[in-house]
Amino acid sequence: MRKQMIISVMSKDRPGIIASITGAIYRLGGDVADLNQTVLCGYLTMILSVSFEPEVTKEDVLAAISHIKTDCKFEVSIKEVAHNPEETEIEPPETYILTVQGPNKAGIVHGISQFCFEHNINILDLATTLKNDQYTMALQLDLTRSASSVETLQKELEEYSRQSNLTVMIQHNDIFQVTNEVSLH
Amino acid sequence: MLRSDQILATVEMIQKENLDVRTVTMGINLLDCRGGDIDATCDRIKKKIFSYAGNFVATCNEMSRKYGIPVVNKRIAVTPIALVGAGFHKEDFVRLAVTLDEAASSVGVDILGGFSAQVEKGMTATDREYIASIPEALAATDKVCASINIATTQKGINMDALAMMGRTIKELAEKTAHQDGFGAAKFVVFCNQPGDNPFMAGAIHGVEEADAVLNVGVSGPGVIARALERLIHHHPEPGTLQLDELAEEIKQTTFRVTRCGELIGRAVSKSLGIEFGVVDLSLAPTPTVGDSVGEIFKILGVDAIGAPGSTAILAMLNDAVKKGGIFASKTVGGLSGAFIPVMEDAMLAEAVGEGSLCLEKLEAMTCVCSVGLDMVAIPGSVDADTISAIIADEMALGVINCKTTAARLIPVPGKEAGELVNFGGLFGASPIMALKNVGKSSRFIAWGGRMPAPIHSFKN
pLDDT digits (tens, 9 = 90+) for A96-153: 999 999 999 999 999 999 999 999 999 999 988 888 888 999 999 999 999 988 889 9
Given CB atoms, is A33 within the 8 Å cutoff of chain B?
A: no
Kindly state whether residues A101 and A135 are assigned to the same domain.
Answer: yes
Given CB atoms, is B63 within the 8 Å cutoff of chain A?
A: no
Quote the pLDDT of residue A84.
61
Alpha-carbon distances, residue B295 vs A58, A70, B291, B304 (angstroms): 66, 61, 8, 10
Q: Could you say which residues from 215 to 274 on chain B have a Cβ atom under 8 Å away from some Cβ of chain A?
A: 255-256, 259-260, 262-263
Which alpha helices (H) appear in A16-149, and where do they start and end?
17-27, 58-66, 108-118
Strand (E) positions, chain A? Answer: 3-12, 31-40, 43-52, 75-81, 96-103, 122-131, 134-142, 167-172
Domain hosting A7: range is 3-87
Kindly state whether residues A157 and A119 are assigned to the same domain.
Answer: yes
Distance CA B185, CA B174 (A): 12
Quote the pLDDT of residue A83.
67
Whether residue A88 is predicted with pLDDT greater than 60 in this model: the reply is no
| Closest in B4, B13, B262 to A184, CB measured | B262
Give phi and psi for B145, each to the nearest 5: -115, 145
Give phi and psi for A158, each to the nearest 5: -60, -45
Distance CA B281, CA B196 (A): 12
A78 lies in some domain: yes
| Closest in B2, B8, B67 to A136, CB measured | B8
Per the structure, the count of domains in chain A is: 2
Kindly state whether residues A108 and A175 are assigned to the same domain.
Answer: yes
Given CB atoms, is A37 within the 8 Å cutoff of chain B?
A: no
Least confident segment among B270-274, B371-375, B411-415: B371-375
Confidence category of residue B405, pLDDT binned at 50, 70, 90: very high
Burial A131-170 (b: 16+ CB within 10 A, else e): eeeebbbbbbbbbeebeeebeebbebbeebbeebebebbb
A30 lies in some domain: yes
A123 lies in some domain: yes
Quote the pLDDT of residue B417.
96
Mean pLDDT value across residues B185-204: 96
Dihedral angle of Cα B208, B213, B214, B216, to the nearest 10 degrees: -10
Mean pLDDT value across residues B4-15: 80
Confidence category of residue B51, pLDDT binned at 50, 70, 90: very high
Given CB atoms, is B330 within the 8 Å cutoff of chain A?
A: yes
* pLDDT > 90 in chain B, percent: 85
Quote the pLDDT of residue A90.
67
Distance CA B372, CA B435 (A): 17
Quote the pLDDT of residue B284.
85
Does B8 contact A138 at a Cβ distance shorter than 8 Å? Answer: yes
The CATH number of residue A102's host domain is 3.30.70.260
| Closest in A136, A151, A175 to B10, CB measured | A175
Kindly state whether residues A101 and A82 are assigned to the same domain.
Answer: no
Does A138 contact B67 at a Cβ distance shorter than 8 Å? Answer: no
Does A138 contact B1 at a Cβ distance shorter than 8 Å? Answer: yes
Quote the pLDDT of residue B300.
97
Whether residue A32 is predicted with pLDDT greater than 80 in this model: the reply is yes
Distance CA B392, CA B216 (A): 30
pLDDT tens, position by position, B103-126: 999 999 999 999 999 999 999 999
Give contacts of B68 with chain A, Cβ < 8 Å: 154, 170-172, 175
Distance CA B55, CA B133 (A): 31
Mean pLDDT value across residues B330-334: 90
Q: Are the beta carbons of A38 and A87 closer than 8 angstroms?
A: no
Mean pLDDT for chain B?
Answer: 94
Kindly state whether residues A110 and A36 are assigned to the same domain.
Answer: no
Rg (C-alpha) for chain B, rounded Å, is 21
pLDDT tens, position by position, B228-275: 999 999 999 989 999 999 999 999 999 999 999 999 999 999 999 999
pLDDT tens, position by position, A144-184: 999 988 889 989 999 999 999 999 999 999 999 998 888 87
Quote the pLDDT of residue B291.
87
For residue A6, what are the β-bridge partners? A49, A79
State which H helix or E strand residue B112 sits in. Answer: strand B111-118
Mean pLDDT value across residues B42-51: 98
Which alpha helices (H) appear in B234-332, and where do they start and end?
243-272, 293-299, 310-328
Q: Are the beta carbons of B314 and B297 closer than 8 angstroms?
A: yes
Given A87, A122, A145, the domain boundary residue is: A87
Confidence category of residue B383, pLDDT binned at 50, 70, 90: very high
The nearest alpha carbon in chain A to B255 belongs to A179
Distance CA A42, CA A137 (A): 20
A161 lies in some domain: yes
Q: Are the beta carbons of B311 and B349 closer than 8 angstroms?
A: no
A42 lies in some domain: yes
Domain boundaries in chain B? 16-460
Closest CA to B409 of B429, B431, B379: B379
Quote the pLDDT of residue B202.
95
Quote the pLDDT of residue A22.
95
Task: Say what angle helices B56-67 and B38-53 make with each other, to 10 degrees.
Answer: 20
Given CB atoms, is B69 within the 8 Å cutoff of chain A?
A: yes
A102 lies in some domain: yes
Give contacts of B259 with chain A, Cβ < 8 Å: 178-179, 184
| Residue B119: exposure state from Cβ atoms within 10 A (0-12, 13-18, ≥19) | buried
Give contacts of A170 with chain B, Cβ < 8 Å: 68
A39 lies in some domain: yes
Least confident segment among B90-104, B123-137, B358-372: B358-372
Amino acid at the residue A102: G
Distance CA B169, CA B378 (A): 12
Kindly state whether residues A48 and A110 are assigned to the same domain.
Answer: no
Does A124 contact B1 at a Cβ distance shorter than 8 Å? Answer: yes
Q: Are the beta carbons of B337 and B282 closer than 8 angstroms?
A: yes
Distance CA A120, CA A140 (A): 14
A185 lies in some domain: no
* pLDDT > 70 in chain A, percent: 95
Quote the pLDDT of residue B10.
84
Give contacts of B15 with chain A, Cβ < 8 Å: 169
Closest CA to B409 of B437, B380, B447: B380
Distance CA B431, CA B419 (A): 5
Give contacts of B9 with chain A, Cβ < 8 Å: 179-180
Given CB atoms, is B417 within the 8 Å cutoff of chain A?
A: no
For the structural domain made of B16-460, what CATH number should be given? 3.20.70.20
Confidence category of residue A87, pLDDT binned at 50, 70, 90: low
Given A54, A87, A120, the domain boundary residue is: A87
Whether residue B319 is predicted with pLDDT greater than 90 in this model: the reply is yes
Given A20, A54, A87, the domain boundary residue is: A87
Length of chain A: 185
Amino acid at the residue B55: N
Kindly state whether residues A66 and A105 are assigned to the same domain.
Answer: no
Strand (E) positions, B167-247? Answer: 187-191, 212-218
Kindly state whether residues A78 and A100 are assigned to the same domain.
Answer: no
Of B182 and B65, the structure prediction assigns the larger pLDDT to B182
Q: What is the ipTM metric for this complex?
A: 0.79
- What contacts B220, CB < 8 A, 6 or more positions away? B18, B19, B253, B254, B257, B283
Q: Are the beta carbons of B164 and B130 closer than 8 angstroms?
A: no
Q: Are the beta carbons of A98 and A164 closer than 8 angstroms?
A: no
